[in-house]
Structure 1
Amino acid sequence: MKSLPIRHHYPLVVYILLVMLGVPAAAIAQITTIEGTVTNAKTKEKLPFVSVSVPQAALGTNTDEEGHYTLRIPAQYTSVVFTYLGYRTITKTLVAGVPQEINVQLTPSSALLNEVVIKGSKPPRYRNKENPAVALIRQVIEHKEQNRPESYDYVEYEKYEKMAFSFSNLSEKFKNKKIFRNYQFLFKKQDSTAAGGVNILPVYLEEKLNKEYYRKNPEKLKSVALGTKQVQFDKHFIDNEGLSTYFNRMYQDIDIYDNNIALLGNQLLSPIANNSPTFYQFFITDTLKQHTPQLIELSFLPRTKGDMLFKGKLYVTLDGNFAVQQADLSVDKRINLNFIKSLDASLEFAENPDKRYHLSKTDLAIDFGLSQNKGSGFYGERVVTYRNYLINKPQPASIYDGPALVANDSAANRPATFWQQNRPDSLSQIEKAIYTNVDTLQTIKSFRRTLELFTFVLSGYKGFGPFEIGPANTFYSFNPVEGFRLRLGGRTTPELSKRIYFETYSAYGFKDQKWKYYLSSTYSLNNKSIYTFPQNFIRASFQRDTKIPGQELEFVQEDNFLLSFKRGVNDKWLYNDIYRLDYVHEFNNHFSYTLGFKKWQQSPAGGLYFQNIQNDRINPIPNLNTTELMLSLRWAPKETFYQGKLYRSPIISPNPIFTARFSAGVKGFFNGEYNYQNVSLNATKRFYLSQLGHSDVTLEGGYIFGQVPFPLLDIHRANQTYSYQLNSYNLMNFLEFSSDHYASLFIDHNFNGFFFNKLPLIKHLKLREVASLKLLYGGIREENNPNAHPELYQFLRDAQGQPTTFALGSQPYAEASVGVANIFKLFRLDIVKRLTYLDNPNVAEWGLRGRFKFDF
């Protein structure tokens, strides 16, 4: 059974829950934070792109367009240098460890003033041609391949990750609320200029130590988990594994040498992408001659404000390698990202013996909040350290074989001494306290009651130890056949058994006065949860319930209350008795197969009828019985999941997914009435198009061998709800088209605000443009055409005798839509246009459809 949509947005549930409590900033000890404004000493004009640096540490930033800067410096450094072309360099002394404001006035260099000809206040137009900064970045781009770790045949290293989250900028009023009187031990104070504000509430910490092996040919990256440690929330309320997966998805590794950098589910163009000079402006802002080798400080910013691009600085070596020795990345608040108050990433590279550079450390810090201004939020930081590099020293082939990630047997149970010896840096006092504080927090009854309430409201399930009841939004619904419908169901949890799972529900329709029910039993064959990759289980089930032919919903039950509201005539239903036996086996290479047996009895209800013509007389048929044997093959290379206790949801990535299904009806086997074979193939992939967003493309085709009645044909996925369904035809009526052979193409494109971001006023709303196209080619062979064979089930007709079920002709069914997504950061609204078969009865040419969609 498919689960509620909120289960597939579980990380959103966690986020909302945490926001109700506060949000994280792991305080960093011994840091000096300075900020201020740089101006022209004579004209008082604010100076943009002034270099503010600590040369000894290769740290720095640039002033923004208003001359303002902020810089966080390790306390051992007590001086900062301000450099600007045409002005005298100034060095300022700092007070270590104390936040301070340093405003600087730069004096123009007299040696250069005689050479300056002032023609007006308007700055010269930025150009790529004859621009030394652009010439330099083109050299960096040209040398990208030789500077990547993948340029070596073999690489291995240790990778340590630390991820910390806190509620941030909590007000004193919030902190002192009565509900938190028992929680005061959790709150920490820090400097007002530190990330997260004065009051923070650390709530999550995760550490990992991996050994990674890279082989170029054949290409393989193998990770061996040596140690893992994370804060453990009560498993009744929060799926710790799912939480970890989601946080790691948000804070992915940053590869500056990739053309596009994955961030928060989006792809931002790298400043050293092949076409970066088209979208970025570059400026040479400093030369670090005291550094060996010498470095050029190259500042960059988007050409168009609001584009999904970075701003920041690159430090490029002048030793002939044109390698990036350090990169500082941030984003403008105006770009089309949701809930981001600030984002800063720092990448450091260390020199190899062959004078090339490898990534040695990354630090990605994101401050989230419902508002981009002041207010409570959620601060997270992920620091990754790479060390003990070995270059071109191959290991035995067995090291590279097998799954991409392998966990050492004792990785999750390492003692404190292991982490003390293997951490590159010790934990701060605040970080050390997170593990014990969260454990203490979960013993407080009021906190547990709050978690229980939010779990039920957001997931729809109420837990009772080994069993949970839900989902809540199916308790009540209505439709033309059953009328008012009540349903109650639930499922077992791993507390009952980690190998055996049961799921059931019972429903009653007050109009048809019939009971419906479902029962399934699943047994895990690999001693793992049936929701955990790789799956290996056998499931037996029986369902007696109603269904709309051709309705295929995404992640929701058909009796969801909100789907009770439908457009047009919606009276064609089925009563189904379905017996199933399925065996599912997944492999570590993400290939899986499913073997199945299905006995299905369909009985028409409402306006749906089964009838044929015999001896020129209409012959009603009470039910249709089939028995099928099924085989499904699926390959999803490098697929990852949001993994939870009782669910898992695939994470969309650029990797394709291929599915092949074969089913065979067997006449005479368990009362099966027809022999036939049904073959279908499906391929889906997301294509990232850099600044133009991304497209989700699905190709599908099917063919039925044998003579079958129309209910056994491919009844194409229609949608008569007001919800926009990505994988259905949103203006096709239920049971409008059937085929015994077909091919389809779905394209759904999200421009990520590429056009809206350039429109005055509109750009502040952070709306995103979406467009889709759906094409369906198909038809029915002569042997399956009811008009040519009256002994077959006849197509449906309305009360006036007009046909309402059709075969596709020479032209395809086509519909297209344009819409706006990210409305209030949660909704998508599409205007859908049906392009063909407009003469069919009860057809809507236009439609307005909505969809809940959460994105960063």
Structure 2
Amino acid sequence: MNHHLLNYAPIRTALLFCGLLLLICSLANAQTTTVTGIITDGGNKQPLPFANVVFVGTTIGTTTNERGGYTLTGTGNFTQIAISFIGYKSIIKAITPGVSQELKVSLSADSQLLNEVVIRSGKRERYRNKNNPAVELIRNVISHKEQNQIGNYAYAAYEEYDKLQFSLSSLSNKVSERKIFQKYRFLLDNRDTTTLPGKSLLPVYLEEKLADHYYRKSPQKDKIIVKGNKRVDFGQYFDNNGLSLYLNRMYSKVDIYSNSIFLMTNQFLSPIASSAPTFYQYFLADTITIDKTKLVGLNFVPRNTSDMLFEGKMYVTLDSNYAVQKINLSVNPRINLNWVRDLQIHLQFEQNTDGRYYLSKSDLLADFGITKGKGGGIFGQRTLSYRNYKTGDARPDSFYEGQEQIVAADAASKPEQFWSTNRHDTLSTAESKVYTNIDSLKRMPSFRRTMEAFTFILAGYKSFGPFEVGPANTFYSFNPVEGFRLRLGGRTTPELSKRYYAETYAAYGFKDQRWKYFLSGTYSLNNKSIYQFPQNYVRASFQRDTKIPGQELQFVQEDNFLLSFKRGVNDKWLYNDTWRIDYVHEFENHFSYSLGFKNWQQSPAGALQFKRPGDDTNTPSPSLTTSEFSVEARWAPNEQFYQGKIYRVPIVGRYPVFTLRFASGIKGLFHGGYSYENLTGTISKRFFLSQLGYTNVTAQGGYIFGQVPFPLLTIHRANQTYAYQLNSYNLMNFLEFVSDHYASLSIDHSFNGFFFNKIPLLKKLKWREAVSFKALYGGLRSENDPSQHPSLYQFPVDDSGVPYTYTLNRTPYLEASAGVSNVLKFFRIDLVKRLNYLDHPNVSQWGIRARATFDF
């Protein structure tokens, strides 16, 4: 993700999210009571972890950490807190409402309660895994994980109800009384004070889904049939599918039996992961009996409080299953998470008729805010519940064929009677009003004007109904060939037609005094937006514009204003006239193919020349024309997307992505000057390494068959901007290396703060470390070497006649970097080192590059 990618959907969503937080914080003005302190044993003065602290008369409470410390915050007129811990006498202490205060408390042992405790040590000894009964118990849980998972059965089925809601939290009551908000009273008065005791919540988003899930073990396959799907619709200002996907990814389903749990763009190690005893400490707490089943309470905390780990308590059965019956998870306030004030996960399991425990309910709650203390924020909750578990329900193989998820034709139009009958949980009064309130809100002219302004600022487009103008970041730019450049363009929207789309722009360079322009027309074959998955369209286009050889950009236009700033010499450009016709077809299983034809006329611009040996220096450089047919196949199993206004950006997941492209040039067709074949293959995959972060690996190779001049060779992707580009060589100059066959490897690893979290200053800054390595090996066959074939264009040289373009010979090009991410929560800064070919002119051995990122 480059620093100029403000059109990139998740960053734009993040900016809108942060802007909303700023607005909320400025409006929040509620009275808050905060109590902090330490709870200790009155006898030995040792801290008591996991003691309960609550405001008297409420359910607002917390537990002490492994050091006995606690922080209890709530909005209200609280005058007392109650402290309790099993084996000790509970006490009540007076507090002052509406202020922050510190209260240290010592608890006295209760002999009657102590008789009920299985294990409790009055002396705090050094923690060890060896001979630790708590660790022995957790190892039994780990060894029985497989038998307690649904995947242990040949066939299984269940019904799932999924509810996701977001609310504005801690908004002051004075907000709705202000004159400017009077017209929004119907929305602001819809408060919920029961879901999160001590906080006033204003629901603004709600999504519900009811589905039947089917599982087959061998060969492993899932089948999901969505019976009902309902969500808040914000209209044209948000991509509702993209917003839903983004929020569901943040609030991923929690499987405690998986080694890693993905939440808020981060991986957390499960407390019952195979390696969990290395990273967690475990303490036996108590025993309880539920329905004649004896359960052991087990507290767990991270060994390092800043690692991506949970703390909390679980109850484990002592029968042959060693199953988790209930678990509560939270995170330490010191954890390296952005924006998250509090995170709570509650999982409940019920015993089925076969004696096994299956997940019956999952509740994930998170409170977001710019500051860790008081003030407004955003509260999100995802609740999943499960019913009608069936094991051994065999179905024919034909049932599992086709796409994994099938959505019923009437899923989005189910009547309210369907939902009131089939919901596993009833909606709160405030939740039940969200759908109609947002429908009313989006029809208000003032709301539409505000959202149009946000859309223009963040997406760069100003909508006029069936047509929108933009993107704004290309209106002005500059470069050595065109000088000062102005551009204006736009495109049609689905409001005009869902089948026909047009896009155009015109640009003018004041230095070269040339007009550039683009025009395209697209026909959607499946009557869906061409920006939505699955795509199926035909597009024809013509473009007359400039281009830098070897600059390949993703998700951004070349005349983006921020790309105007470049290092080094940047005077070798191309004028292009490109006619294209493309057909793109995607399938539900995420296989896609495209067919294309391109007629491309290249003319040198700036200091670039197309010259053969013996050409007169006064002779104008010729143009190069090719006619090319291409076919490309892409397979990205289980791929998901962030849907944006300009680009649909794939979400990097754990599955590999395969791409294979073949192009063939036809000599003599529409003045095409060369016959050739170009084959390129790419494999990319993200490897998740739990506490050590994740690694993005991309391998690519290409081969050109036939004799071609250097503009048709592979001009390797270079970067002379100050932004770090993942798919380019960041210290390579434009046009520096060309090949007719090559192989490349790119490795980018994020440690996600694993080491920095153990260094005091860096731990406080919440920086995260990253490293990358790139290698490019290639070569040039003699038939494409202009020094051996005078009929080919010579490689470019600089003003002094020194060669500017090279081949890789027998030595690969190598580049490495070490970076710091999460700087100011939005930026990654890399120190890049070029490892070889340092004798080339105008190269930099070192460089600092930055790019914008967004992670929690």
User: Which residue pairs with 1:689 in the alignment?
Assistant: 689
* Structure 1 residues 489-500: aligned runs within 5 Å: 489-500=489-500
Structure 2 residue aligned with 1:98: none
Query: Secondary structure of 2:549's partner?
Result: coil
CA offsets 1:662-702 (integer angstroms, 9 cap, x no match): 10111111111111111011001111111111111100010
Shift of 1:617: 9.4
**Secondary structure of 2:126's match?**
coil
SS at match of 1:807: coil
Q: How far apart, CA to CA, are the structure 2 residues paired with 1:122 and 1:799? A: 80
Q: Tell me how far apart the structure 2 counterparts of residues 752 and 348 of structure 1 sit (CA, whole Å).
A: 30
Q: Closer, same or farther in 2 for the Cα pair 1:674/1:321, shift >3 Å?
A: same
Cα contact 1:778–1:809 (8 A) shared by 2: yes
C-alpha change, 1:191 and 1:494, in structure 2 (3 Å) is: closer
2:13 is the alignment partner of 1:11:
yes
2:312 match = 312
User: How many angstroms apart in 2 are the aligned matches of 1:339 and 1:283?
Assistant: 30
Shift of 1:70: 6.9
The equivalent residue for 1:537 is: 537
Cα distance in structure 2, aligned partners of 1:522 and 1:191: 47
Q: Which amino acid aligns with 2:7?
A: I
* CA–CA separation in structure 2 for the residues paired with 1:103 and 1:436: 48
SS in structure 2 of the partner of residue 261 of structure 1: strand
Question: Deviation string for 1:521-562 (max 9, x for gaps)?
Answer: 111111211122111111111100000000011211110111
- Does the CA-based 8 Å contact 1:630-1:662 persist in structure 2? yes
Matches of 2:123 and 2:849, distance apart in 1: 48
Contact 1:241 1:644 in 2 (8 A): no
Alpha carbons 2:714, 2:740 under 8 Å: kept: yes
Equivalent residue number for residue 214 of structure 2: 213
CA distance in 1, matches of 2:104, 2:341: 24
Out of 743-752 and 606-615, give the one that drifted further: 606-615
For residue 121 of structure 1, report the CA deviation from its aligned partner.
Answer: 11
Aligned to 1:107: 108
Distance in 2, Cα, partners of 1:854 & 1:728? 21
Deviation at 1:14, TM superposition (A): 4.0
SS in structure 1 at match of 2:613: strand
Query: Which residue of the partner structure matches residue 205 of structure 2?
Result: 204
Q: What is the distance in 1 between the residues matched to 2:826 and 2:615?
A: 59
**In structure 2, what is the Cα distance between the partners aligned to 1:46 and 1:749?**
39
Counterpart secondary structure, 2:7: helix
Q: In structure 2, what is the equivalent of residue 570 of structure 1?
A: 570
Give, in angstroms, the shift of residue 63 of structure 1.
Answer: 2.9
Structure 2 equivalent of residue 416 of structure 1: 416
The 8 Å contact of residues 39 and 67 in structure 1, kept in 2 or not, is answered as no
Q: Structure 1 residues 495, 653: closer, same or farther in 2, change over 3 A?
A: same
Unaligned runs of 5+ in 1: 24-32, 54-58, 73-79, 93-100, 115-119
Q: What's the counterpart of residue 181 of structure 2? A: 180
Determine if contact 2:685/2:696 at 8 Å carries over to the other structure. Answer: yes
Residue 382, structure 1, aligned to residue 366, structure 2: no
Equivalent residue, structure 1, for 2:642: 642
- Structure 2 vs 1, CA of residues 322 and 394 (structure 1 numbering), >3 Å: closer, same or farther? same
Amino acid at match of 1:500: Y
Taking the aligned partners of 2:486 and 2:35, their CA distance within structure 1 comes to 62
Counterpart in the other structure of 2:822: 822
Stretch deviating more after TM superposition (786-795 or 187-196)? 187-196
SS of aligned partner of 2:293 = coil
Listed one character per residue, the Cα deviations across residues 390-420 of structure 1 (whole Å, up to 9, x for unaligned) are: 1111123332121111110110001111001
Unaligned runs of 5+ in 2: 26-33, 55-59, 75-81, 93-100, 116-120
| 1:710-739: CA deviation from partner (whole Å, max 9, x where unpaired) | 110000000000111011000000000000
Structure 2 Cα separation of the partners of residues 20 and 779 of structure 1? 54
Give the 3-state SS of the residue equivalent to 1:628 in structure 2: strand
Counterpart CA distance in 2 for 1:226 and 1:610 is: 63
Count of aligned pairs between the two proteins = 818
**Residues 727 and 196 of structure 1: is their aligned pair in 2 closer, same or farther, counting only changes over 3 Å?**
farther
**Alpha-carbon deviation of 1:130?**
0.6
Equivalence for 1:40: 41
Whole-angstrom CA distance in 1 between matches of 2:297 and 2:113: 21
For 2:519, the equivalent position in structure 1 comes to 519
Question: Is the CA contact (8 Å cut-off) linking 1:470 and 1:488 kept in structure 2?
Answer: yes
Closer, same or farther: CA 383–37 of 1 in aligned 2, 3 Å: farther
Q: Would the aligned equivalents of 1:685 and 1:696 in 2 still touch at CA under 8 Å? A: yes
How far 1:444 sits from its partner (Å)? 3.0
Counterpart check, 1:141 vs 2:130: no
Q: 1:445, 1:787 → 2: CA distance?
A: 68
Question: Do 1:139 and 1:322's aligned partners in 2 also have CA atoms closer than 8 Å?
Answer: yes
Paired with 2:128 and 2:381, the residues of 1 have a C-alpha distance of: 37
Cα distance, 1:310–1:459 mapped onto 2, change above 3 Å: same
Corresponding residue for 2:847?
Answer: 847
8 Å Cα contact 1:364-1:382 kept in structure 2: yes
Deviates more, 1:313-322 or 1:441-450: 441-450
Which residue of structure 1 aligns with residue 128 of structure 2? 127
Conserved 8 A contact 1:50-1:67: no
1:184 CA displacement = 2.5
Instruction: Name the residue aligned to 2:229.
Output: 228
What displacement does 1:219 show? 1.0
Report how far residue 11 of structure 1 moved: 2.4
TM-superposed CA distance for 1:105, in Å, is 6.0
Change (3 A) 1:546 1:43: same
Map 1:54-93 onto structure 2 (within 5 A).
Answer: 62-64=63-65, 65-68=67-70, 82-84=84-86, 87-88=87-88
Shift of residue 180, structure 1, vs aligned partner:
1.6
The answer to whether structure 1 residue 546 and structure 2 residue 543 are counterparts is: no
More displaced 10-residue stretch of structure 1: 682-691 or 192-201: 192-201
In 2: Cα distance, 1:462 partner to 1:456 partner = 5
For 1:272 and 1:339, how far apart are their aligned partners in 2? 27
Q: Could you tell me how far 1:36 is from its partner in structure 2?
A: 9.7
Contact 2:89-2:110 at 8 Å conserved across structures: no
2:753 corresponds to:
753
The Cα shift of 1:439 comes to 2.1
Deviation by residue 1:596-625 (Cα, 9 ceiling, x = unmatched): 101000000001110112599997641001
How do residues 90-489 of structure 1 correspond to structure 2 at under 5 angstroms? Answer: 106-108=107-109, 123-172=124-173, 174-188=175-189, 195=196, 198-235=199-236, 237-290=237-290, 292-489=292-489
Q: Which stretch of the first structure deviates more once superposed, 447-456 or 374-383?
A: 447-456
843 and 645 in structure 1: CA distance in 2 versus 1, 3 angstrom threshold: closer
After TM superposition, give the deviation of residue 460 of structure 1 in Å. Answer: 0.4
> Compared with structure 1, are the counterparts of its residues 794 and 726 closer, same or farther at alpha carbon in structure 2 (3 Å cutoff)?
same
Alpha-carbon spacing, 1:615–1:539, altered in 2? closer, same or farther (3 Å): closer
- Cα gap change, 1:121/1:81 in structure 2, threshold over 3 Å: closer, same or farther? closer
Q: 1:585 and 2:550 equivalent?
A: no
The residue aligned with 1:596 is 596
Cα separation, 1, equivalents of 2:343 and 2:365: 6
Matches of 2:282 and 2:759, distance apart in 1: 24
Cα distance in 1 for partners of 2:161, 2:802 equals: 69
Could you say if the C-alpha distance between residues 36 and 616 of structure 1 is closer, same or farther in structure 2, counting changes exceeding 3 Å?
closer
Distance of aligned partners of 1:46 and 1:494 in 2 relative to their CA distance in 1, 3 Å threshold: same
Moved more, 458-467 or 613-622: 613-622
Structure 1 residues 533, 111: closer, same or farther in 2, change over 3 A?
closer
Which residue is 2:624 aligned to?
624
| Residue of structure 1 equivalent to 2:764 | 764
Residues 466-523 of structure 1: CA deviation (Å, up to 9, x unaligned): 0000000100000010011000000111001011111111000011111100111111
Shift of 1:447: 2.2
Structure 2: distance between partners of 1:34 and 1:513: 69
Question: What is the identity, as a one-letter code, of the residue corresponding to 2:352?
Answer: N
TM-score (norm 2): 0.91
User: 2:79 — aligned with what?
Assistant: none
Report Cα offsets for 1:438-464 as digits up to 9, x if no partner: 222223332222111111111100000
Corresponding residue SS for 2:433: helix
CA–CA distance in structure 2, aligned partners of residues 287 and 103 of structure 1:
28
Q: Using the alignment, how far apart are the partners of 1:385 and 1:37 within structure 2? A: 37
